């Protein structure tokens, strides 16, 4: 006997939950995409800014926070407390840089720990690395406490999770014992490459070149999103709740608003990291260790013995300009 309805409401609800799509009028499906925005290397990595002076960092941060607020983005910012202390800077420097971080919590946003000095877990002995995590806590914890929040997220520098699985697992146990949840990344990208070329152009007063870099960045990020959507579907049969990593820099301070519009135009809403991590994808088996700091989509591909899908690259002229910058 034929069913009178092909899909019961209950089953439809389950399908929506699994596939991440919601039915719309006319029976077609519109994507109910979601992405959590995470922003690393706070207060800011020097290569991505026009000036590393506290007043300039505060101005950059205010522009970035305004763009986040305009799009209702509940971002999490990941701090390197080592960036608060500059060699040879007068005593007030660290205080002024801490005030830049406080702009984030005053804007209602959450901060996480990205270690004190942004070293590689792959190349640092575990005990030393764990000490760098602890050293990266006090200012961030205090700012969060002022805002009535706990410190609860950790982001691996360079997304490097270790070269051997026992080390990776031991570090994860350490994090859990200190109350941390690892913040994975699925929408990995090379925004820092564009950002360094962009900041260099602005430092040299070349606004025209900066504009071309920004346009290239936005187009590149569209390709990155199309890529992760495709890998998600291939790997899990659906589009998972994504996590974007970008950096606190001049490029995003000036152009995050435009990037947010492009992301929204793809059918995304901006979700909290907490909500995003409830997607069952984040419980997929993940035994990845290795040299590459890569997307968790790649972790899951490699753990499932599949080849790593090649990510989009920045345009050659951007990459060449980046490679030619003095380090
Ligand atoms: Zn970082």
State the distance from the centre of ligand 1 to the C-alpha of 14, rounded, in angstroms: 37
CB 110 within 8 A of CB 79: no
On whether residue 13 sits in a domain, the answer given is no
Residue 167 alpha carbon to ligand 1 centre in Å: 20
Give the Cα separation of 24 and 13 in Å (integer). Answer: 13
- Domain membership of residue 45 as a residue range: 31-323
Q: At residue 18, does pLDDT exceed 90?
A: no
Quote the pLDDT of residue 13: 42
Question: Is residue 129 included in any domain, yes or no?
Answer: yes
Is residue 21, in this structure, part of any structural domain at all? no
Q: How far is the CA of 158 from the centre of ligand 1 (A)?
A: 6
Among 76, 62, 66, 69, which Cα is nearest to 114's?
Answer: 76
pLDDT for residue 3: 39
Q: What residues contact 69, with CB distance under 8 A and at least 6 apart? A: 107
* Segment 229-267, tens digit of pLDDT: 999 999 999 999 999 999 999 999 999 999 999 999 999
Asked if 81 and 278 touch (Cβ cutoff 8 Å), the reply is: no
Rounded-to-integer distance, Cα 49 and Cα 199, Å: 5
> What pLDDT shows up at residue 90?
85
- 306 found inside a domain: yes
24 found inside a domain: no
User: Residue 41 Cα, ligand 1 centroid: separation in angstroms?
Assistant: 5
Instruction: Read off the pLDDT of residues 257-286 as tens digits, 9 standing for 90 and up.
Output: 999 999 999 999 999 999 999 999 999 999
Instruction: Give residue 247 CA to ligand 1 midpoint distance, Å.
Output: 8
CB 280: neighbour CB atoms within 10 A? 11
The rounded Å distance from CA 93 to ligand 1 centre is 22
What is the per-residue pLDDT for 26? Answer: 40
Ligand 1 ion: nearby residues, β-carbon < 5 Å: 40-41, 157
**Distance from residue 253's CA to the centre of ligand 1 (Å):** 17
The pLDDT value given to residue 15: 41
Q: Tell me the CATH number at 52.
A: 3.20.20.370
**What's residue 113's pLDDT?**
99
DSSP tag of 259? H
Q: Is residue 261 part of a domain?
A: yes
When computed from its CA atoms, the radius of gyration of the chain, rounded to whole angstroms, is 21
Structurally, the chain folds into a number of domains equal to: 1
pTM (whole model) above 0.75: yes
- CB contact set of 258 (below 8 Å; sequence gap of 6+): 214, 218
Say how far apart CA 327 and CA 325 lie, in whole Å: 6
Question: Would you say residue 17 lies in a domain?
Answer: no
Q: Is residue 312 part of a domain?
A: yes
């Amino acid at each position: 006997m034929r069913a009178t309805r092909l899909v019961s409401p209950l089953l439809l609800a389950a399908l929506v939950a699994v596939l991440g799509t919601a039915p719309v009028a006319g029976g077609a499906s519109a994507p109910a995409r979601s992405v959590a925005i995470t922003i690393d290397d706070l207060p800011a990595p020097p290569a991505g800014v026009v000036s590393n002076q506290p007043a300039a960092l505060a101005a950059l941060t205010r522009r970035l926070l305004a763009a986040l607020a305009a799009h209702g983005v509940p971002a999490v910012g990941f701090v390197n407390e080592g960036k608060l202390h500059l060699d040879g800077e007068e005593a007030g420097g660290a205080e002024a840089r801490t005030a830049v971080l406080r702009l984030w919590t005053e804007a209602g946003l959450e901060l996480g720990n990205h270690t004190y000095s942004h070293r590689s877990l792959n190349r640092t002995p575990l005990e030393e690395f764990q000490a760098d995590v602890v050293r990266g806590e006090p200012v961030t914890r205090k700012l969060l406490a002022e805002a009535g929040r706990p410190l609860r997220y950790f982001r691996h520098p360079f997304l490097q999770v270790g070269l051997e699985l026992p080390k990776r697992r031991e570090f994860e146990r350490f994090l859990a014992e200190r109350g941390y949840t690892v913040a994975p990344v699925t929408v990995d990208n090379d925004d820092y490459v564009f950002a360094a070329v962009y900041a260099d152009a602005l430092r040299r007063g070349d606004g025209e070149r900066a504009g071309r870099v920004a346009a290239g960045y936005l187009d590149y990020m569209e390709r990155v999103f199309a890529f992760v959507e495709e890998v998600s579907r291939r790997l899990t049969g659906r589009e998972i709740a994504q996590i974007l990593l970008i950096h606190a820099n001049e490029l995003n301070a000036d152009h995050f608003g435009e990037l947010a519009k492009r992301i929204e135009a793809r059918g995304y809403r901006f979700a909290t990291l907490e909500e995003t991590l409830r997607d069952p994808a984040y419980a997929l088996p993940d035994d990845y260790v290795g040299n590459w700091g890569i997307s968790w989509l790649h972790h899951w591909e490699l753990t499932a013995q599949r080849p790593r899908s090649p990510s989009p690259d920045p345009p050659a002229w951007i990459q060449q300009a980046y490679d030619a910058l003095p380090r």
